[in-house]
Amino acid sequence: MFKILRILLFAGMLITGLAASTAQAATPSVHVLTVDGTIVPVIADYIDRGIGEAEDANADVCVIELNTPGGLLDTTEEIVQRIMNAHVPITVYVSPKGSWAASAGTFITLSAHIAAMTPGTTIGAAHPVTTGGEEISEDQMKKVTEFSAKWIRTIAEERNRNMEEAQLAVTESKSFTDIDALEANLIDLRANSLEDLLFQINGREVTLASGASVTINTEEHSTTRNEMSFIEKFLHAISDPNIAYILMSVGSIGIMAEIYNPGALFPGILGAICLLMAFYSLGVLDANIGGILLMLLALGLFVAEFFTPTFGILTAGGVTALVLGSLLLFPDRPPVFRVNPWLIGVMSALFVGFFLFVIQRVIKSHRRQATTGWEELIGKPATVMMTLSPEGQVLFRGEHWKAVSEEGTVEEGEQVIINKVENLKLYVSRKKTE
């Protein structure tokens, strides 16, 4: 009797486990991605990863909440291809209220199996613009516009949307409110919230790229929010023209601070890191190479000011190159891909302030030395910073001095002794070792 009870108990547990696993498997799964900001390569990687995880989980639908002012054409092409070839239904939802899916966002929205918008959102204005700052002829721009118009027509046709209205978003930069877009058959529905969206798409049938027809089931669904990782958020944050410009400026100031005060380490390390991040960001944003070269020239002029003090002449040239380079980084771009003019002014003033401080320190130091007499320098040690053959530079009390060796060539890093001072030039000899 006891043995029969054990068997019945085991069978009951087995049945209960199977029922629970079956219920869990039958629970509809919804994966949600959130795209907020410009469309740059890291966004394409994030969407590819998110859709891939939805496919691996055999999700019933993958929702992309979208809010973007636009982005890069190459990246947009990658995202559109990934959406249109997904193995699970993709819904693009322009959200939250007050957001938009402009330019690149229009292509992405129309490529989805189901396109939806929150009341109070807009879509459109997808006319192409040049990248990298290059100038192209009117005929070339016409060809680019025609290509983009045909591409969006193809997307609209594939998704049974209004091809004519979609084309106008490109050729005439036409924009649509959520009501306009629904009436023009550019989107499938308007939804007040994600839950409202999932309620409305329940039972809809879509056709995947494989040709298979899938009926979306969102009843009593479980929601998985697949957010961007920390690295993805970081790379997306620095892929912004203003952030790239700030990183470039801060990096330059850090390098110059290290040159002015060798051995400080922190300014140099911070400057190098900022410059590397700036170059990544400028590369992602396809910045104009002419603008980058001008900014590097500005850095070179600023550094030259330390070694050949001209009391502001090289600094003035550096500031001029900096401003011109800043303006040329992203010319002929929409506002979202241009550096804020106020930021250019602030950074230029920061550079000027930094060098006024340095120049003031140099002048003050020289005046102080003249007052106390050059005699106090005699016999003091200095470090060779630029090989003396016989002329070069030495570092004395944190300042760079022109120097002349009285004992032939002295290599960088060696210690020397100051013998005399004439016209702000030090005459030195090797430090004798005991």
Using the 8-state DSSP alphabet, how is residue 212 labeled? Answer: -
pLDDT in the model for residue 306: 67
pLDDT digits (tens, 9 = 90+) for 240-285: 888 888 888 888 888 877 777 777 778 788 888 988 888 888 888 7
pLDDT digits (tens, 9 = 90+) for 100-137: 898 899 999 999 999 999 999 999 887 666 544 444 55
Task: Output the pTM of the full model.
Answer: 0.71
In whole angstroms, give the CA distance from residue 257 to residue 265. 10
Q: Can you tell me whether residue 415 is helix, strand or coil?
A: strand
Looking at CATH, the fold of the domain delimited by 25-228 is given as 2-enoyl-CoA Hydratase; Chain A, domain 1 (3.90.226)
In whole angstroms, give the CA distance from residue 232 to residue 80. 19
In whole angstroms, give the CA distance from residue 35 to residue 67. 6
In whole angstroms, give the CA distance from residue 137 to residue 131. 14
Using the 8-state DSSP alphabet, how is residue 192 labeled? Answer: S
Looking at CATH, the fold of the domain delimited by 375-430 is given as OB fold (Dihydrolipoamide Acetyltransferase, E2P) (2.40.50)
What does the mean pLDDT of the chain come to? Answer: 82
Q: Is the dihedral of CA 42, 332, 343, 353 positive or negative?
A: positive
CA contacts within 13 A on the Cβ side of 8: 5
Lowest mean pLDDT among 27-41, 147-161, 332-346: 332-346
Residues catalogued as catalytic? 103, 143
Give me 169's structure tokens. 């978003």
Which DSSP helix (H) or strand (E) runs through 384? strand 381-386
In whole angstroms, give the CA distance from residue 344 to residue 121. 32
pLDDT in the model for residue 72: 85
pLDDT in the model for residue 281: 84
Amino acid at 314: L
pLDDT digits (tens, 9 = 90+) for 198-234: 999 999 999 998 889 999 998 888 899 999 999 999 9
Higher pLDDT among residues 242 and 314, named by residue: 242
> What residues have CB less than 8 Å from 418, skipping those under 6 apart?
377, 378, 379, 380, 381, 382, 396, 426, 427, 428
pLDDT in the model for residue 139: 64
Taking alpha carbons only, the member of 369, 367, 401 closest to residue 382 is 401
The band of 18, judged by pLDDT with boundaries at 50, 70 and 90, is: very low
Q: Is the dihedral of CA 213, 215, 221, 225 positive or negative?
A: positive
The band of 30, judged by pLDDT with boundaries at 50, 70 and 90, is: very high
pLDDT digits (tens, 9 = 90+) for 53-76: 999 999 999 999 999 988 888 899
